[in-house]
Chains A and B, each alone.
Chain A
Amino acid sequence: MTPTRIRLARPDQLTILWQDGLTTCHPLERLRKACPCASCREESGQTADPFRVLKPAELEPLRLVKIEPVGHYAYKILWSDGHDTGIYSLEYLRGLEKPELIPTT
């Protein structure tokens, strides 16, 4: 399944329109937590470090700085917290949120 449009319909939500006409809406916080990169996967398996000092960027609301195609199979996202190693495959993105039929505006 391939996307036909991808946009920030709201500042805190990425909206993907897919080839079959269905749409998935991705709240940015959830999308960031679902980052598939190795270091994030490792972190999510561990208990949170209670003494970790937050970086200034992490104190602000999370923004999506950049999202760019990787070949024909994935997107890479640069987050406002500086993280950019997550490669989200199309299959993974499509499975993250429930696809809905939303009339396009």
Chain B
Amino acid sequence: MSNASMPKIELPGIRNVLAVASGKGGVGKSTVAVNIAVALQMQGLRVGLLDADIYGPSIPLMLGVQGQVDQATTPLPLDRHGLKVMSIGFLVPPEKAVIWRGPMIHRALTQFLTQLDWGELDFLVIDLPPGTGDAQLTLTQTVPLSAAVVVTTPQEVSLIDARKGLEMFREVRVPVLGIIENMSYFMGDDGKKYEPFRSGGGARLARHCSVPYLGEIPIDARVAASGDEGTPLVARHPDSPAAQAFDRIAKVVRRELESAPAANPLPGLEMT
């Protein structure tokens, strides 16, 4: 299937659209999406975050939004931690969303992108649903993605599915900025580094598939606690090693996308 086979949504006010993807659920994709978005925002950029993981919308919890939002009184996207945020979880309880069918979900996401007032954004970060099924394929083909990052854990089962994700982006010609290995290691109270899973899998996969390796995020109870309490780690514990890893990744994303000439097309011939 080619990229040209489906018309792309136009997002004129948004300069870069970054997809955060994973082959499996539970690897920390939403955590990475939220923290990269806040890191970019803290670096002074205008950033939006779209929760496209219809089957497990966790962005509301991670940003401290409880229950549903009354559209009549609260304009969407919401303003949270300096981000413009939208999630299907703002409109329906997560347990209701799971019964939705593909086309309905796609229509909802298209509406979120085209009907809401996102204003001018330097980055829109999209938390994609995990996996490489039809829903993901349709999304990657209709949303004008500038690039993607793929999140995996060091376990073999996660790496195998991450690889399918890489192949999907290759097929739809979305550049992959790199692989992020989450939950790579933890620091013991004794100051030693522990690797509960066989380490180095993310880096190996990157090498094998010729995409950059963006680095690893340690296991840190503060990552989960910050998510559960609604203030992302990079805002709450900016000096923690995990927050610094997110910040570094956000900088690489900027370097890769802002230096890409995509913003200015090459000049044409002037007739003089």
Q: Which residues of A contact B (CB under 8 A)?
A: 2-9, 66-69, 72-73, 75, 90
Q: Could you say which of B262, B268, B271 contacts A69, with CB atoms under 8 Å apart?
A: B268
With A and B bound together, what is the CA distance between A83 and B260 in angstroms?
Answer: 30
B265 contacts chain A at the CB level, 8 A cutoff: yes
Given A6-B266, A6-B270, A66-B269, 8 more A-B residue pairs with CB atoms under 8 Å apart are A3-B266, A3-B267, A4-B267, A5-B270, A6-B269, A7-B269, A8-B271, A73-B261
Contact call B268/A6, Cβ cutoff below 8 A:
yes
CB distance from B94 to the nearest CB of A (A): 41
> A residues within 8 A CB of B271?
7-8
CB distance from B173 to the nearest CB of A (A): 12
The answer to whether residues A9 and B272 also contact, given A2-B261, A72-B260, A72-B261 and a CB cut-off of 8 A, is yes
With A and B bound together, what is the CA distance between A42 and B269 in angstroms?
Answer: 29
Contact call A68/B268, Cβ cutoff below 8 A:
yes
Contact call B267/A8, Cβ cutoff below 8 A:
no
B210 contacts chain A at the CB level, 8 A cutoff: no
B264 contacts chain A at the CB level, 8 A cutoff: yes
> B residues within 8 A CB of A6?
266-270
The answer to whether residues A72 and B262 also contact, given A7-B272, A8-B272, A9-B272 and a CB cut-off of 8 A, is yes
Q: Could you say which of B266, B268, B270, B272 contacts A72, with CB atoms under 8 Å apart?
A: B266
Chain B interface main SS type: loop
Contact call B265/A69, Cβ cutoff below 8 A:
yes
> A residues within 8 A CB of B266?
2-3, 6, 69, 72, 75, 90
With A and B bound together, what is the CA distance between A90 and B126 in angstroms?
Answer: 33
With A and B bound together, what is the CA distance between A4 and B267 in angstroms?
Answer: 6
> A residues within 8 A CB of B261?
2, 72-73
Chain A interface main SS type: strand
Question: Smallest CB-CB separation from B269: which chain A residue?
Answer: A67
With A and B bound together, what is the CA distance between A3 and B269 in angstroms?
Answer: 11
Question: Smallest CB-CB separation from B261: which chain A residue?
Answer: A72
CB distance from B15 to the nearest CB of A (A): 15
> B residues within 8 A CB of A69?
265-268
Give 6 pairs: A residue, B residue, CB < 8 Å, sorted on A: A6-B270, A8-B270, A8-B271, A8-B272, A72-B261, A72-B265
Mark out the residues of chain B between 245 and 266 whose CB falls within 8 Å of any chain A CB in the assembled complex.
Answer: 260-262, 264-266
> B residues within 8 A CB of A5?
267, 270
With A and B bound together, what is the CA distance between A90 and B261 in angstroms?
Answer: 12
With A and B bound together, what is the CA distance between A3 and B264 in angstroms?
Answer: 11
CB distance from B3 to the nearest CB of A (A): 14
Mark out the residues of chain B between 219 and 265 whose CB falls within 8 Å of any chain A CB in the assembled complex.
Answer: 260-262, 264-265
With A and B bound together, what is the CA distance between A8 and B262 in angstroms?
Answer: 25
Give per-residue flags for B133-173: 1 if the beta carbon is below 8 A from chain A beta carbons, else 0.
00000000000000000000000000000000000000000
With A and B bound together, what is the CA distance between A103 and B271 in angstroms?
Answer: 19
With A and B bound together, what is the CA distance between A5 and B269 in angstroms?
Answer: 8
5 nearest A-B pairs in the assembled complex, by CB-CB distance: A69-B266, A7-B270, A72-B261, A67-B269, A7-B272
CB distance from B264 to the nearest CB of A (A): 7
With A and B bound together, what is the CA distance between A68 and B271 in angstroms?
Answer: 13
Question: Smallest CB-CB separation from B260: which chain A residue?
Answer: A72
With A and B bound together, what is the CA distance between A87 and B268 in angstroms?
Answer: 15
> B residues within 8 A CB of A3?
266-267
With A and B bound together, what is the CA distance between A6 and B268 in angstroms?
Answer: 7
Question: Smallest CB-CB separation from A64: which chain B residue?
Answer: B269
With A and B bound together, what is the CA distance between A104 and B67 in angstroms?
Answer: 61
